[in-house]
Amino acid sequence: MSYYEKIFFPLLRAFEPEFAHHCAVGTLALAQWGPPGESLLRHIAGGVPSRPVDAFGLRFPNELGVAAGFDKNVEVALGLALLGFGHVEVGTLTPLPQVGNPRPRVHRLLRNRALLNSMGFPNCGVGAALPRIIRFSRLEGRRFILGVSIGKQKETPLTDSIRDYLGIMRDVHAHADYLAINISSPNTPDLRKLQTPQFINSLCAQLQEENEAIAQRASSKPRPLLVKIAPDVTDEDLDAVIEAVRANNLAGIIATNTTLKRDGLDGDPFPERPGGISGAPLAARSTDMIRAIRGKTSGSLPIIGAGGIFTAADAREKLDAGAKLLQLYTGMVYRGPGIAGEILRGL
């Protein structure tokens, strides 16, 4: 057990989870700029082995990244990279600033090593985030991949949602290494319907068409587009997502977002609270989804595996199931900022 787990996490538990998260982000934001902070973060990482992975036409320094939701407002991508993560997915960003759902909206399920999240895409909006995306993307000697997760405004009808995704893509295209299309958060009303046959092919087709058009106008390359799916998606809808991704030449799938299912929990202290479950209870569901995607595509479609990664053994399980890359978030809450180095050394 690390010093973080023995000392710091028990102290952090005295604070409301979202407040504790803001404190962590604020500390990282201060530490990431300048030699003293950089040295401290590298020391916490504890030495990270080089494990390059080629995917989507990009070279990732290692398999492990930070999932969208940790750095919602694009404040600490460098700090997370200094902790050993090979890629950082910032956001999810919406076209305009969004406050999200009422607080409290994050709860710890300690006995389950899980979080219950009903945040609803709180973020500063793409306009405010863009200068920071540009700054991180232009860092001299940058050694991490910068992904941007994009979503729709809560008030935007599903039938108009494409305009939100297209607008954000146009804003960040020149500066993001890849784009993650978030259509699977359970905390934006009806968002998951975008995974269904009614919407998914049109969404993917229009995004890829604009992706290629932007690249052509700028004499650059199209950005890899990935679709982030739910672990609760039906088999029919999964088939529709895979078909749309392949038919429109998208780069891959991120599996998975949080789950609405609560069976298997060791007690549920918040039975009346809505939201998605992340952490250990999600591990098997997301791994099963990775395995299903690999089976349906004969391993031809790259997958980023996310959900319930706490240890090198958890990471290895997802890699063996068919994931090319990995992401975590809740594991860092419970195991601390040294988790990337620990997992990568373990692999």
Instruction: Specify whether the CB–CB gap between 98 and 119 falls below 8 A.
Output: no
Give all domains of the chain, ordered by start, each with its CATH number.
Answer: 3-346 (3.20.20.70)
Kindly state the helix (H) or strand (E) to which residue 21 belongs, with its residue range: helix 17-31
**Pairing of the two strands 53-55 and 58-60:** antiparallel
Which pLDDT value is given to residue 155?
Answer: 97
Which pLDDT value is given to residue 268?
Answer: 84
Q: Residue 347 and residue 334: Cα distance in Å, rounded? A: 20
Which pLDDT value is given to residue 332?
Answer: 97
The low-confidence residues of the chain, meaning pLDDT below 50, are none
Q: For residue range 176-212, what is the model confidence (pLDDT) as tens digits? A: 999 999 999 999 999 999 999 999 999 999 999 999 9
Which pLDDT value is given to residue 264?
Answer: 82
Instruction: Specify whether the CB–CB gap between 41 and 31 falls below 8 A.
Output: yes
Phi, psi at 26, each rounded to 5°: -60, -40
Decide: helix, strand or coil at residue 145. Answer: strand
- State in Å, rounded, how far the first CA of the chain is from the last one: 18
| Cα dihedral sign, 42-44-47-51 | negative
Burial of 186 (0-12, 13-18, 19+ CB in 10 A): buried
Residues serving a catalytic function are 185
Burial of 131 (0-12, 13-18, 19+ CB in 10 A): exposed
- Mean pLDDT across the chain, nearest whole number? 97
Closest CA to 111 of 266, 216, 256, 220: 266
Which pLDDT value is given to residue 267?
Answer: 87
